[in-house]
Amino acid sequence: MSIGDRIGVLDKGVLVQVGTPSEIYDKPINIFVARAVGSPAMKLRPGRLAAGADLGGKVLPLSGSEPGALIFGVRPEDLEPGGEGVAARITDVENHGVKRS
């Protein structure tokens, strides 16, 4: 293990998460870490959990969680076009050197 194998994320001087860069990027422990790590930042949207997660009319099947409010987070690079599609135009692409395994 080298000095850069694990990192810590501080929130106002309090250590909130320690892990490999990939662990922290892929599984942030809270909203602060989700917003702080990555560029562009993780997109966060409120939703409700019932039989699935209702996110603006789209229902995502989830299990093992209690019904109630939730915050849904997604990294923009994980989105793929599909379904009926939405008209869109790409205006800019930025390579920040993030290589996901």
What pLDDT is attached to residue 77?
79
What pLDDT is attached to residue 91?
83
What pLDDT is attached to residue 78?
78
Q: Is this structure's pTM higher than 0.75?
A: no
- The two three-digit tokens of residue 60, written as one number: 């995502």
| pLDDT, mean of each 10-residue run, the chain (101 residues) | 78 94 89 88 81 62 68 80 73 66 52
What pLDDT is attached to residue 15?
96
Rounded Cα gap, residues 31 and 64, in angstroms = 21
What pLDDT is attached to residue 10?
94
- The two three-digit tokens of residue 56, written as one number: 């603006």
- Sequence spans of domains, the chain: 1-40, 42-78
Residues paired with residue 15 on neighbouring β-strands, in sequence order: 10
| DSSP E strand boundaries for 1-101 | 7-11, 14-19, 43-49, 52-55, 58-61, 68-74
What pLDDT is attached to residue 16?
96
Whole-number Cα distances in Å, 57 to 22, 28, 32, 61: 31, 25, 26, 13
